[in-house]
Copies of this chain bind each other. A is one copy, B any other.
Amino acid sequence: MERNGFSFEQALDLLHQKKYAALRSLLSDAEPADIAEFYEQVSGNQYAIVFRILPKELAAEVFVELDSDLQQILIESFSDSELKEVLAELYMDDTVDLIEEMPANVVKRILANSTGETRKTVNELLKYPDDSAGGIMTTEMVRFKQNMTVEEAFELLRRVAIDKETIYTCYVTDVNSHLIGIVTVLTLLLASKDALIGDIMEENAICVSTLDDKEFVAAQISKYDVLALPVVDAEHRLVGIVTVDDAIDVMQDEAEEDFAKMNAMLPTEKPYLKTAPFELWKSRIPWLLLLMVSATFTGMIISSFEEALATQVILTAFIPMLMDTGGNSGGQASVTIIRAISLGEIRFGDWFRIVWKETRVALLCGGTLAAVCFVKLFVVDKWLMGKEITFLIALVICLTLCVTVLCAKVIGCTLPLLAKKMGFDPAVMASPFITTIVDAVSLLVYFQLAKYFLHL
């Protein structure tokens, strides 16, 4: 915990010794994110003390970085005037996040201690869906008029800078608030003092609409390498901006959600160590139950071949290998396709190209696996372990491998695309789900081939 940041031990020592002046000066030089981490080590009755010794502005910045349960504890310990001070320092998107996470009675207190202006904006912002551009944007941006000079623009900047989430990209609007251009501070610096904003602004600026998906917004910020994107309403009026740091959070949340869904879990919001076992259970049990019950089909397939199996018990030993290889092959294809859909690299129209590609990959993989398996069956299983492997048994096993891998890859790439087409989340069509289907397919193929070649 050294490097960037400060020594938590030293800070805790100062706190226990009640050397508050020294603690204040130590924390004043620290980054909000580090102080928030330090908070987790402080015991409950000292939260308010540590918070009160921070300079006002820093206190608000730290507040934003805290977990929502800590935020709630703090708010409940605040006097009304303290709460007002913190709220005044928050950006609008942070205020909205706070309100969305607090219980009703705390929300009531927050709104009662906000200015009328803030209440109005918060109510506007709360109308947008959580996962839309409107739901994550903030309203603190710098607006210029076309007929301002660069000098006037700089004056305005200096006056309002402190309350804006970013000043490095400024937005030019007409009298009806329509977005007509953007100007960066770099452009301002390079222009002459009396140039008009309308002449130096970039027209046709990239923008997103309030109802665009937040993941699309983040992808646009990443694609165009911008520090912020303006958000416009249906009439192209500028209503907010999304900044790059919020885009990073969206991308990270999205990746974590995909990791969870692809592995048969419902996403949880908190860090692992803070999630209670019961919450983990809630996120994991639904898919486990569903997948367990759907495995009934594989059981039925095996049951219907019970008699045949009894005559060639050796076949049973290869069931796990065939199922696992099928599951892994299908998982590879589905995860690749799900991520490519997520990143906007492919769409449903590419289905034929994708299936053709996966078919060739499957033939290459299946062929390699079958060849290696064939050799392994005779060298390891027959020669070393003395099992009764005949040529026909080896043929059935290796053919099953090939067909299973082919089916697994085609199913693995088709299901996510189909899900997307039908408006579902492709991520839930991932390995665990594919595994269950591929299990059934591989068993059917195995037993049919065994029936045919071994005359069971």
The interface of chain A, by Cβ under 8 A from chain B, is 4, 29, 31, 33, 154, 157-158, 161-162, 167-168, 185-186, 189-190, 203-204, 206-208, 220, 222-225, 227, 244-245, 247-249, 251-252, 255-256, 258-260, 262-265, 271-273, 277-278, 280-281, 284-285, 287-289, 291-293, 295-296, 298-300, 302-303, 306, 309-310, 313-314, 316-321, 323-325, 327-329, 331-332, 335-337, 339-340, 343, 345-346, 350, 353-354, 357, 360-361, 364-365, 368-369, 372-373, 376, 380-381, 385, 387, 431-432, 435-436, 439, 443
* A222 and B252 form a contact (CB under 8 A): yes
* A281 and B324 form a contact (CB under 8 A): no
Name the distance in Å between A282's Cβ and chain B's nearest Cβ: 9
* A244 and B271 form a contact (CB under 8 A): no
- A325 nearest CB neighbor, chain B only: B292
> A260: which B residues are within 8 A, CB to CB?
335-336
Question: 13 more A-B contacts (CB under 8 A) besides A227-B227, A272-B354, A295-B324?
Answer: A167-B189, A222-B249, A259-B262, A262-B263, A285-B368, A288-B329, A289-B368, A291-B328, A295-B321, A302-B319, A306-B316, A319-B319, A327-B435
Name the distance in Å between A312's Cβ and chain B's nearest Cβ: 11
Given A248-B222, A260-B335, A280 and B361 touching (CB < 8 A)? yes
Complex: A79 Cα to B433 Cα, angstroms: 54
* A190 and B206 form a contact (CB under 8 A): no
> A222: which B residues are within 8 A, CB to CB?
245, 248-249, 252
A31 partner, pick from B224, B262, B299, beta carbons under 8 A: B224
Could you show 27 A-B contacts with beta carbons less than 8 Å apart? A161-B189, A222-B252, A227-B227, A244-B245, A256-B339, A258-B259, A259-B335, A259-B339, A262-B263, A264-B328, A265-B332, A265-B335, A273-B350, A280-B361, A284-B329, A284-B361, A288-B329, A289-B368, A299-B320, A300-B317, A302-B317, A303-B314, A303-B317, A310-B313, A316-B316, A320-B439, A324-B435
